[in-house]
Copies of this chain bind each other. A is one copy, B any other.
Amino acid sequence: MKPTRVTNTIRSLRFAHGEMTQAELAERVGVTRQTVIAIEQGRYSPSLEMAFQIARVFGVPLDDVFQYPETEE
């Protein structure tokens, strides 16, 4: 399982939105808590669909949640 290059600010956004728990975010997005943990820790990059859903929960554009660094293979 290669770690993804995509980083995110989910943890900050959760706290900025009323101490939202991982479980609550998972439920709102429609995935399991396991998945939220893995994404938040950057263990793998989510599907584009899930990325959009997460951004929507926080009411921010996708780029505010996920960042992609310069291409350095």
Tier of interface size on chain A = 10 to 19
Tell me, rounded to whole Å, the shortest Cβ–Cβ distance linking A31 to chain B.
13
Q: Is the interface of A mostly helix, strand, loop or mixed?
A: mixed
A48: contacting residue among B56, B66, B71, CB under 8 A: B66
A56: contacting residue among B6, B66, B71, CB under 8 A: B71
Interface positions of A from 15 to 68, Cβ below 8 Å from B: 45-49, 51-53, 56, 61-63, 66, 68
Binding site for B on A (CB under 8 A): 4-6, 45-49, 51-53, 56, 61-63, 66, 68, 71
Known contacts A5-B49, A48-B48, A63-B63; 7 further A-B pairs (Cβ under 8 A): A4-B49, A45-B48, A52-B68, A53-B68, A56-B68, A56-B71, A62-B63
